[in-house]
Structure 1
Amino acid sequence: MRRLFISHAISAAALLALGALSASAADNAAVQEKAAVCSGCHGENGISQTENIPSLAGQPDQYIQWQLVFFRAGSRKNEQMQPIAAEITNEDIRSLGAYFAAMTPPKGPEDNDPDLSKKGQQAAAGRRCASCHTDSFAGTKAVARLAGQREEYLVKALNDYKTSQRVGGAGAAMADVAYSMSEEEIAAIAHYVAHLQ
């Protein structure tokens, strides 16, 4: 009798595990389907090949979630993102955050201007960028990963913060930092972090 009970218990556990696996596979397929819409602009495997479009691969989970919430609420404006974000649920937001965070982040290209990177490193240190974005510029929690991001996108983002065109989340802190940056500092910092490996 005891053996029969153990046998049934093992069978039930196996069935539950198989059910969880198939549900997980279905969830994964649903996330991949949602993420496929993102790859049209943000690139295969979350690595953008399009000017002024950021890579999402390796961005912190919470950062992606909050940006999607800001787009959906309209506090962060973008003509392409607003209609997409309007159609996603809270569960989609959580799933997409985890999905892109788990991807391998882009590596910065070979640095073709190390002198500019050195100026950018000095400017970033002076602006205390690492105090939020971490020493490796990999981001954390709701703070963006900058290392390896597209250089022209970083220039655009800093200029958008500087002119208060970009709001939401850490908008106030970023606007405060970017407001007094010169165009030369913006270009140097963007070059430096974009080329980090």
Structure 2
Amino acid sequence: MRYVRVLRDLCGVALAVAAFGGLPARAADVAAGKAKAEQCSGCHGENGISQTQNIPSLAGQLDQYTQWQLVYFRSGARKNELMQPIVEQLTNDDIRNLGGYFASLTPPKAAAPDDNPDLSRKGAQAAAGRGCARCHLDNFAGTKAVARIADQREEYLNKALHDFKSGQRVGGGVAAMADAAYPLSDEEITALAHYLAHL
């Protein structure tokens, strides 16, 4: 059932790629992105650093990753009742500019010192064992359309991994992430989220 859902969602992604990918590439207008991002700050925080539980920080997130996630939300391939009404109004230029703006911001730092180094050690072992660095790189800063996950909110990482594991999360990289997250135990997910949030 999980793979049927993945295949169905990949069809939606293919339509999004066809709609977005055929446009000529233009440089982002970071100032326009900053102005458009004012509507994002209520949830994603000032300067893209979230203070809201289960809402990711966007500061320092990779340009291509942010753009593609917005395309997936806009096409309906990725669903979120709060994001959908906002993203439906975005033009391709808005998406390009938002990607450039959030990529230009300083990434967040861990919100608090690591209060559980043993859990972080287990998370580091899980990250190495599951090959997370193959896509997210050794420093977990991501690359191109692969997310930056270093110093992301811990509870958001926990939720995202559980959503990938259960098949609830769709959008870019869903097949790779579903395969990576499916065998994770709840304990490994907790440890991974803690480790990545405190890099």
Bin of the TM-score, shorter chain as denominator length: 0.7 to 0.9
1:62 aligns with 2:85: no
CA drift of 1:168 comes to 1.4
Pairing partner for 1:181 from 181, 184, 187 = 184
1:95 aligns with 2:87: no
- 1:146-186 per-residue CA deviation (whole Å, 9 max, x = no partner) reads 11100000000000000100111100110011111100000
- 1:65-87 per-residue CA deviation (whole Å, 9 max, x = no partner) reads 00000000000010000111100
AA partner of residue 115 (structure 1)? D
* 8 Å contact kept, 2:63–2:144: yes
> Secondary structure of the residue that 2:33 maps to in structure 1?
helix
AA partner of residue 186 (structure 2)? E
1:153 aligns with 2:156: yes
Map of 1:6 onto structure 2: none
- 1:12-34 per-residue CA deviation (whole Å, 9 max, x = no partner) reads xxxxxxxxxxxxxxx55532221
AA partner of residue 77 (structure 2)? S
Q: Larger Rg: 1 or 2? A: 1
CA drift of 1:116 comes to 0.1
Pairing partner for 1:135 from 115, 138, 144 = 138
Structure 2, unpaired ranges of 5+:
1-28
Q: Aligned partners of 2:47 and 2:88: how far apart in 1?
A: 23
* 8 Å contact kept, 2:124–2:192: yes
Aligned residues: 170
CA drift of 1:102 comes to 0.6
- Structure with more relative contact order (C-alpha pairs < 8 Å, separation 6 or more): 2
Query: Percent identity among equivalent residues?
Result: 71
AA partner of residue 70 (structure 2)? L
TM-score (norm 2): 0.84
Q: Aligned partners of 1:66 and 1:163: how far apart in 2?
A: 22
Structure 1, unpaired ranges of 5+:
1-26
Q: Aligned partners of 2:34 and 2:187: how far apart in 1?
A: 40
> Secondary structure of the residue that 2:85 maps to in structure 1?
helix
1:80 aligns with 2:82: yes
CA drift of 1:189 comes to 0.4
* 8 Å contact kept, 2:33–2:100: no
TM-score (norm 1): 0.84
AA partner of residue 176 (structure 1)? D
AA partner of residue 52 (structure 1)? N
Moved over 2 A (4+): 27-33
